[in-house]
Amino acid sequence: MALVLKTDLSKHKGHKFIMNIKQQDKTDGYTIVELVLVIIVLGILTAIGIISYNGWRQKTIETQMKSDLKSAVIAMENSRTFNNKYPTSVPSTFKASQGDTISGGSPDGGSYCIDVVNSQFPSLYYHIESTGGGHDVQSGKCITAGPFTLTYNAGPNGTISGVNPQIGIVSGGSGTLVTAIPSSNYVFSSWSDGSTTNPRTDTNVTADITVTASFVIDNISAPSTPTVIVSSQPTSTTTRWSWTPTPPSYTCQSGSSIRYQYNFTYNGYVGTWAGPVTAINADFTTSTEGYTYVLNVQAQCYNSSTGGVSAWSASGSASYFRPITTYTLSLFAGTGGTVSQSGASPYISGSTPTITATPNANYVFASWTGTNCSGTQSHAVPAMTANMTCTANFSLITYTLTLAAGAGGTVSQSGVSPYNSGSTPIITATPSAYYSFASWTGTNCTGTQSHAVPAMTANMTCTATFTATPITTPAAPVVTANTVSTNTTWSWPAVSCPGNSVRYQYRYTYNTSTPYDSGLIATATTSVAFTTSTENITYTVTVQAQCYNAVTSSSWSTAGSASYYRPVSLVTPATPNWVRVISTPISGYYWNIASCGAGNSSRYEHYWTDGPNHYDNNGNYIGDFTSPTYTYDAGTNTGPYSPNIGWQLPLVPSWYSGNTAAVYVRAQCYNGSNSSGWSAWGQGGVYTP
């Protein structure tokens, strides 16, 4: 069988092909050429089909992206219509097609730019701007006006030096210098954006930049081990180490320099490595005696141009031992004891041996004297920095006597505490004003106000107690009442309270239909006054006295009291009303009883006349008519005219010698202390025999 490939480009435009396979002879096979031609044609057709499909797929997605952009623009415009400004991002009411991502928005509310990208073509962008582009779809992303951020990252084996990140770079602006610094034995290679500039400064910035520095190993050989010596003692407490030979004796390859690092150790302390430095000596404090100080030094070759460094060499070292200083400690004992010390003198500088003072019987340790020797009976001296001489002092046993005073007094003692054993000091309690000594309390302290304590065999504490001195109750105040007009003053002489002050309390009462009682009222004066104008009332004031001082007071005295009775007012009665009664052999007259009110009595004056002369009821001449002076209390008539008052006039002709007789009377109200005015004279009638 043979294959014949035929193409007709006139009937099938573009990429359409027809393959016509004719079967020449079923028994014939395919030649190698024919098979190769078939494979080539099939490959071409497949490639054309793939290219055609991919182109169609991209066109479809581009159409979708542009449609989404225009729909997003409608959402932005609608948002401005309702909110009077563009939103900062595409409103959530808009939903992008599958695979599309819409981003952007308005930075100021007055304009916007939004762009779209599809997940299947991540490098293909379209955008629409509200200004400049006329709402047309344009290729590419929105151009950001900034600010931008520049971020520089260090890959393994290096660090970044400089401001990082650099924030707020304006569009078209520049960043600041940053440097990629390699670690030991490494050099800078390049930045992730392909730049090999180091240090670098980014200029004309139009977008955020994030790059990473990469580093590669630098193959510089390590130098030989430094030789270290202790070269000098700059001060008494300082040692200098130096290392030789000096550069460039150490072998560093061409273009490289040498530098060092060192660490300082002593008695278990290991310092951190210091450096790198180019100096060839270092000083350290080596003041602690008995310590061995060691300085370890390493060398390194480095290339300042490439940043390459070698490994550090092996350590060279040298040591210094600070010799130990010793000092003597001499002890002496004063009278009354012995001394001892721990260890044996001399002592290493900084030692703190214990010194002990032991008193003999009846003695106690008193003190240590000598530089840096003071302390307790047995104690460690401060760290020794010089020879020392210490003396222990002893004293006879003494005891303290401590006095305390309770409220109301003070205490004192003879001599000064402490006292030698067996002493008998005198203790004295002195009461303050208004107080009296009560007692002493405390072991072996009891006794009189001032007394010697028993022989002291221990420390003592004695307390004096005091009590307030009692005050005698004063006598009862002598109260008098003095009334002027409608006011009454009750007063009393000051009560005697020798050495103290006096105060009073009084109670004011009166007996109305609702009795009044003021209760006890305090006063410092010796009189009180009240209005006592209500008649027929008895007013009473009772007074008690009390002596007192700043500490205490006496009991209240018995009460003294005085009363005042306000009598009922007396009114001048009316003129008596007369009635004449004729009876033989006498002629009689009577009058109505005067009205004087409850609690009062009445009395009368009367006389009779025969013209110009006045006579009493016995006919005796008592004066002329113009000035009657005779007063006669008629009393009560028990006759038939009761309850009126009457006066009987005997009809004795010789008394009035035939003249016409007239009788006169007037009335007065009275009680035990007061009387009213006399009424007008009332005429009883005229009698002519």
d(CA 605, CA 682): 10
* Residue 67's CATH number: 3.30.1300
Residue 232 and residue 154 share a domain? no
pTM score, two decimals?
Answer: 0.36
**pLDDT one-digit tens code per residue, 228-244:** 999 898 999 999 999 97
The percentage of the chain sitting over the pLDDT mark of 90, rounded to a whole number, equals 48
What are the beta bridge partners of residue 333?
392
d(CA 290, CA 432): 70
Q: Classify residue 8: in a domain, yes or no.
A: no
Domain boundary among the residues 396, 421, 448 is at: 396
- Whether 271 contacts 264, CB under 8 Å: yes
The pLDDT of residue 502 is above 90? yes
pLDDT band per the 50, 70, 90 thresholds, residue 636? very low
d(CA 680, CA 238): 141
The pLDDT of residue 217 is above 90? no
pLDDT band per the 50, 70, 90 thresholds, residue 589? low
The pLDDT of residue 362 is above 90? no
- 625 or 642, higher pLDDT: 625
Spatial neighbors of 388 by CB under 8 A, at least 6 apart, are 327, 328, 329, 330, 370, 371, 372, 373, 381
Residue 681 and residue 585 share a domain? yes
Q: What is the pLDDT, as a whole number, of residue 371?
A: 94
Q: What angle do CA 84, 88, 92 make, to 5 degrees?
A: 90
Residue 596 and residue 681 share a domain? yes
**pLDDT one-digit tens code per residue, 21-72:** 333 444 455 678 778 787 887 877 766 656 567 788 889 999 999 999 889 8
By residue range, what is the domain housing residue 250?
227-321
Residue 133 and residue 166 share a domain? no
Residue 342 and residue 308 share a domain? no
Q: What is the pLDDT, as a whole number, of residue 317?
A: 94
Two structure tokens written together for 157: 């084996």
Which residue from 332, 339, 338, 328 is spatially nearest to 390, judged by alpha carbons?
332
DSSP string, 550-610: SS-B-PPPPPEEEEEEEPPPP-PPPPPPEEEEE-SSEEEEEEPPP---TT-EEEEEEEEES
**pLDDT one-digit tens code per residue, 306-359:** 677 888 999 999 999 998 889 999 999 999 999 999 999 999 888 999 999 999
For the chain, the 3-state helix, strand and coil shares in percent, each to the nearest 5, are: 10, 45, 50
- 129 or 653, higher pLDDT: 129
What is the rounded average pLDDT for all residues in the chain?
83
Give the number of other CB atoms < 10 A from CB of residue 446. 12
pLDDT band per the 50, 70, 90 thresholds, residue 7? very low
Q: What is the pLDDT, as a whole number, of residue 631?
A: 37
d(CA 212, CA 214): 6
Residue 408 and residue 389 share a domain? no
Domain boundary among the residues 369, 396, 423 is at: 396
Residue 559 and residue 464 share a domain? no
Residue 411 and residue 384 share a domain? no
Q: Classify residue 44: in a domain, yes or no.
A: no
Q: Classify residue 194: in a domain, yes or no.
A: yes
- Whether 436 contacts 469, CB under 8 Å: yes
**pLDDT one-digit tens code per residue, 511-547:** 888 899 999 999 999 999 999 998 889 999 999 999 9
* Residue 678's CATH number: 2.60.40
Two structure tokens written together for 687: 């009698």
* Helix-then-strand count for the chain, H and E: 2, 50
Residue 591 and residue 553 share a domain? no
Domain boundary among the residues 381, 396, 411 is at: 396
Q: Classify residue 412: in a domain, yes or no.
A: yes
The pLDDT of residue 18 is above 50? no
The pLDDT of residue 625 is above 70? no
What are the beta bridge partners of residue 341?
355
pLDDT band per the 50, 70, 90 thresholds, residue 608? low
| CA–CA distances in Å: residue 300 to residues 180, 275, 308, 318, 525 | 21, 11, 11, 19, 109
Residue 346 and residue 247 share a domain? no
The pLDDT of residue 267 is above 60? yes
If you search the block for the tokens 């113009």, which residue do you land on?
Answer: 626
As for how many domains the chain has, the answer is 7
Q: Classify residue 27: in a domain, yes or no.
A: no
Residue 194 and residue 162 share a domain? yes
Q: Classify residue 682: in a domain, yes or no.
A: yes
Two structure tokens written together for 369: 């004297």
Q: Classify residue 176: in a domain, yes or no.
A: yes
The pLDDT of residue 687 is above 70? no
Residue 295 and residue 265 share a domain? yes
Q: Classify residue 275: in a domain, yes or no.
A: yes
pLDDT band per the 50, 70, 90 thresholds, residue 453? very high
Q: What is the pLDDT, as a whole number, of residue 582?
A: 54
d(CA 365, CA 390): 14
Mean pLDDT value of segment 646-652: 47
Q: What is the pLDDT, as a whole number, of residue 257?
A: 84
* Residue 545's CATH number: 2.60.40.10
**pLDDT one-digit tens code per residue, 593-604:** 788 877 778 887
